[in-house]
Amino acid sequence: MTDPTTLLNATCLCKSSTLSFSVRTSSLPLPTHFCHCSICRHTHGTLCSIHAPIPAPVVDLSTFTSYKSSNKVVRYFCSTCGAHFGDCAREEGGEEQWYISASMVDAPESTWDFRNHFHVGGTQDGGLATWVQEAGGKSMRCWRGKEDTGAWEPSGPSSASLGGQENTGQTRDKPGEEKDRLHAHCHCGGISFSISRPRSPAAFASLPRSLTPADKSKWYAVHDVCTSCRLATGCALVSWVFPEVSHVTLGDGSPYTPVFGTAKSYRSSSGVLRTFCGRCGATVAYACEDRPQMVDVAVGLLDGGEGGGVRLEDWLEWRTGMCAYEEDAVWEGVLAGLKGGLEKWGEGRGGYDAANCPPCFQTSSPTSSCLCNNGNVALFPESMFFRYPPRLRSTLYNYILVSWLNSAWHIAHGTWHMAHVDIATSHHAYTFRVEDPSIQTTLATTKSESRYSHKVVVADSHREITFEECAVIVVKKEPAGEVHGQRLNLRLCSEIYNYQRD
């Protein structure tokens, strides 16, 4: 009796390249590892690769570019969009072993057995492995090199705990020194550029509030789990940093331009340009026409320098409250592990405790941190609100993710009266009402390939507004299901009042 097999398929974002392979059904789930080596980081542009060993696949290599990253390994990525599908390694004894980029495979999370973090020693600070210590409720082991090469341990007592302040060995250079630049490069060297520190708070004037750091000497960084980035890079966890373009200088000293060196470009949707190295496949950047002053740079390209860890904590302010596009995540167990690790790590880095209430609720007038303050009701920009640790948010407040907002949000001034709002997420649909039935306002959510847009339609004028930044309505917990504000009078349904996002 033959052992039944399972056919698995992988396709990239542009769908130009495909790959398929069969495994014995009894071998599932496949052992899967996160590789944090310098080669994977600089060929993918991500903080790690996520690979599983497979039998030789069925593949037409005419749509792929091959890159020999070492004497023993050849990597394959889509020639059109740059997505890494995997690699073929020559093992001891001369046998070939294929490894698939698990993130590219159209298969449920249960297909993969996430076991190990490999080559963590080269990160110097643990990299992404510090945050993803478990997946699907199972602990993952960290190794200095490959399996059985010795467990990786944090270098200092303070870094032994996720909540501790790790000593990455980085020191902030004096302004004006050449070392006060963050260097970035792909593995083959065809892509090379640098990012300078923010020269002043004015550097953030043109950036969305949601991507502006609290520490104006750093740039903001987030983890993205959207479908498009996963299928364009070959990794389910993509980390981006958001510098203002005038702070980016190419390797030859010229100002930043999207296509340079060995870069190839791919327009994944209208107004969106993705770039990757055409020689080694490293994801380089993501740019939108509607925000030309900012470029999303792949964190895996960044070089911490001697003694610097790959998380670059002296340069980057990491968002710890949430990941980008969580509703797209195909691996909910991995996402939960990442979010749990980020929460613990963030709480140990100057985060707010339960006694440190947001300033909005400590003053009778609006502050720069919030967009609306009515005593019991406050409207926060996402960039500020999600810096509070999730435990604090869930303890002190009920809140609802509302819409994408820009600075033109007028509800704080009472010039925009809401009467009825339907809030839809990927898992829930809620309604709350304001006691002003004269105007009926609805919030509709639509999804495009590149972003989510929320259109607000006011019935009496039929105005359509697309907001740019995420915001949160925060309601202080009260014994009754009603809260009253100067401009808002929200009557919350019980299911909303008890709903907590964490």
The reply to whether 325 and 387 lie within a common domain is no
Please, what is the average pLDDT of the chain? 72
How large is the average pLDDT for residues 15-25? 98
Q: H or E element: which one contains 138?
A: strand 138-139
pLDDT of residue 307: 59
The reply to whether 225 and 329 lie within a common domain is yes
Max mean pLDDT range (100-109, 301-310, 467-476): 100-109
pLDDT at 160 over 50: no
| 353 assigned to some structural domain | no
pLDDT of residue 324: 87
Kindly report the backbone phi and psi dihedral angles of residue 90, in degrees, each rounded to the nearest multiple of 5, phi listed first: -90, 110
Choose between 345 and 385: higher pLDDT.
345
pLDDT at 268 over 90: yes
Preceding peptide of 29 cis, ω within 30°: yes
| 277 assigned to some structural domain | yes
How large is the average pLDDT for residues 95-100? 96
DSSP 50-106: EEEEESPPB--GGGEEEEE-SSSEEEEEETTT--EEEEEEE-TTS-EEEEEEGGGB-
pLDDT of residue 426: 30
∠ Cα 317 115 123 (to 5°): 40
pLDDT at 7 over 80: yes
Do 154 and 126 touch, CB atoms closer than 8 A?
yes
| 171 assigned to some structural domain | no
CB atoms within 10 A of CB 337: 22
Question: Hey, which residues does 239 pair with through a beta bridge?
Answer: 223
pLDDT of residue 347: 73
pLDDT of residue 15: 98
303-325 as b/e, with b when 16 or more CB fall inside 10 Å?
A: bbeeebbbbbbbbbbbbbbbbbb
Number of domains, the chain: 3
| 408 assigned to some structural domain | yes
pLDDT of residue 212: 84
Q: H or E element: which one contains 182?
A: strand 181-185
The reply to whether 376 and 488 lie within a common domain is yes
| 176 assigned to some structural domain | no
The reply to whether 195 and 256 lie within a common domain is yes
Residues 6+ positions from 132 with CB-CB distance below 8 Å = 34, 117, 140, 237, 334, 337, 338, 341
Domain closes at, from 315, 347, 379: 347
The reply to whether 383 and 289 lie within a common domain is no
Give residue 61's domain range. 5-159
pLDDT of residue 155: 59
The reply to whether 364 and 488 lie within a common domain is yes
Residue type, 275: T
Instruction: Output the domain CATH number for residue 67.
Output: 2.170.150.70
The reply to whether 372 and 396 lie within a common domain is yes
**For residue 320, what pLDDT band results from cuts at 50, 70 and 90?**
confident
| 216 assigned to some structural domain | yes
The reply to whether 395 and 438 lie within a common domain is yes
The reply to whether 129 and 188 lie within a common domain is no
**For residue 63, what pLDDT band results from cuts at 50, 70 and 90?**
very high
DSSP 195-240: EEPPSSGGGGTTS-GGG--SSTTSEEEEEE--HHHHHHHT-S-EEE
Rounded to whole angstroms, what are the CA distances from 217 to 123, 212, 494? Answer: 23, 11, 43
How large is the average pLDDT for residues 177-199? 90
Choose between 456 and 200: higher pLDDT.
200
pLDDT at 391 over 80: no
Q: What one-character DSSP code corresponds to residue 252?
A: T
The reply to whether 133 and 39 lie within a common domain is yes
